[in-house]
Structure 1
Amino acid sequence: MQVPTFDHKLGSSIHSIISHLFTKFIPYEISIYPGKIIQTYENEGLIAPHTSTIDLNEYGLVPENDVTYNQDGYVIERRFKYGNNDGYTKYTILDGNVVKTETKDDTGEYITTNEFDLTKLSVPNPLSFKGKKDRNLLLKSTVNYTKLEPQSSDFRPLSKEYSYVFDQAGKVTLQLTITTLANGKIQLDGQVYKYK
């Protein structure tokens, strides 16, 4: 995954391109202009490239009906449907980090608390037009289920612990995530970061 840094503030003359590869191998590009972004998708030559334009609001963010931002550009609430039900996630921001989320979805209702390394900055956010991300590196997330739905899975996460590998410049090159599931099993995931 390419994680560039760029400035997309309204009125900026910077034009940045992010190239990314979905897990289904569908390459796309996002070009950022003052007041809009242009997305181009290709399906490995099987269909013609598809281009769409999304206008940004006055804060340089993608306006979404079911997303609420605070005055600093952080997402503070997302609403969504699961089946015929309404769901949500509410975010509590402290010093530029999401320290708590409250969620209602198909697994039930739960609160996630996050712990951060306040001495290290997070990886750059290439999609800042979707809202600001955490300022610092996430160390641990703990989930407390206050209500479980009958169909909820034993594969739901109870906690996630994060560790990082840094390059000589102090940038994150690898994030490892150890997830403890409700069934007692442990899951290990990794995310590689490359910088332009």
Structure 2
Amino acid sequence: MKLPFTPSALLVTAFSLALSACSVQDHLRPETEKCRISTFSVTTKSTDLPYGSYDEILEMDGNQTKFEYVSNRDYSFDEEGRVIKVTGFASRSAIAETYQYLPEVFKVINWDKTETTFPRNEQGYQVRPGYVYNSEGYLIQTETSGELRKYTYVGGNLVKEELFNNSSATPKSVTVYEYDLSKPNLPDESTFTGKKSRNLPTKMTITEFPSISSRTLAFSYLFDEKGQVKRRISIFVTDSSRSPYQLDDYLYTFTCQ
């Protein structure tokens, strides 16, 4: 559910967890409602050119813009639409985690074969110190490393995130989210930490205090012939700049009855 709001952090995680949703079936168009998602792949490219080369050139704002591969993440799902394996590729080196949903615990098996176990609450979600879920299954509060985050949902979508120092009653940043209410969200990449936002995000505006400086992360999308998102273009916009761009390309496979 948490988003690190810096351009460098955007390159890897962008919107993975910050907006969590109902079941994966809620994120599919009617043509695929009788099918369940089996795999979901996200390939990320950036104009930051982290490795000094490029894989693709696109025209952005009238300019020929170079994009370089940054990472790839492959997700596998079980019959209940829950993530059971994530394989991440950074600089094309693979690291995998697998997840087991046991009756009372959630087990993470790391790439080095070490295991971490978390209790599961009555809703089936991961129990961690400082995590609070509401009755609908949304993660509404986290408290870690001296920081408190509060999340507000309206109509099944995360609309506001407030970040506090634990000792302060005034937030040090507030993030406001906007959505295309006619489009379902992408598949849920973190099915163990509460529901994901129902609709497709279009914009998030981060305001920091006490300076009251703000910046916007804007999203645009390309769709395949089935109406599913095949590419997302993200860009940070401030009063003085539009940078960097990020591309996320998506591939899906489904199992149908």
The code of the aligned residue for 2:101 comes to I
1:16–1:31 CA contact under 8 A, matched in 2: no
Query: Mind listing any 5+ residue stretches in structure 2 that lack a counterpart?
Result: 1-72, 166-170
Distance (whole Å) between structure 1 residues aligned to residue 240 and residue 191 of structure 2: 35
Change (3 A) 1:63 1:15: closer
Distance (whole Å) between structure 2 residues aligned to residue 4 and residue 163 of structure 1: 26
The code of the aligned residue for 1:139 comes to T
User: 1:20-39 maps to which residues of 2 (within 5 A)?
Assistant: 20-21=87-88, 23=90, 25-39=94-108
Q: How many residues align?
A: 174
User: Secondary structure of 2:251's match?
Assistant: coil
Offset of 1:50 from its aligned partner? 1.9
Say whether 1:2 aligns with 2:74. yes
Equivalent residue number for residue 135 of structure 2: 71
Offset of 1:75 from its aligned partner? 1.2
Equivalent residue number for residue 96 of structure 1: 156
Deviations 1:124-180 (A, max 9, x none): 21322111111000001112223149xxxxxx9710001122222222222221112
User: Which of residues 173, 185, 190 in structure 1 aligns to 2:230?
Assistant: 173
Distance (whole Å) between structure 2 residues aligned to residue 15 and residue 95 of structure 1: 23
User: Secondary structure of 1:130's match?
Assistant: coil
Change (3 A) 1:15 1:193: closer
Equivalent residue number for residue 188 of structure 1: 245
Instruction: Determine which structure has greater relative contact order: mean sequence separation of CA pairs < 8 Å that are 6+ residues apart, divided by chain length.
Output: 2
Change (3 A) 1:41 1:140: same
TM-score by length of 1: 0.75
Change (3 A) 1:160 1:16: closer
Say whether 1:127 aligns with 2:190. yes
The code of the aligned residue for 1:88 comes to L
TM-score by length of 2: 0.59
Change (3 A) 1:75 1:15: closer
Change (3 A) 1:98 1:190: same
Distance (whole Å) between structure 1 residues aligned to residue 134 and residue 221 of structure 2: 29
1:6–1:126 CA contact under 8 A, matched in 2: no
Amino-acid identity (%): 26
User: Which of residues 185, 203, 206 in structure 2 aligns to 1:143?
Assistant: 206
Pick which of 183-192 and 123-132 moved more: 183-192
Distance (whole Å) between structure 1 residues aligned to residue 237 and residue 147 of structure 2: 24
Query: Mind listing any 5+ residue stretches in structure 1 that lack a counterpart?
Result: 9-13, 44-48, 150-155
Change (3 A) 1:120 1:34: farther
User: Secondary structure of 2:192's match?
Assistant: helix
Change (3 A) 1:185 1:161: closer
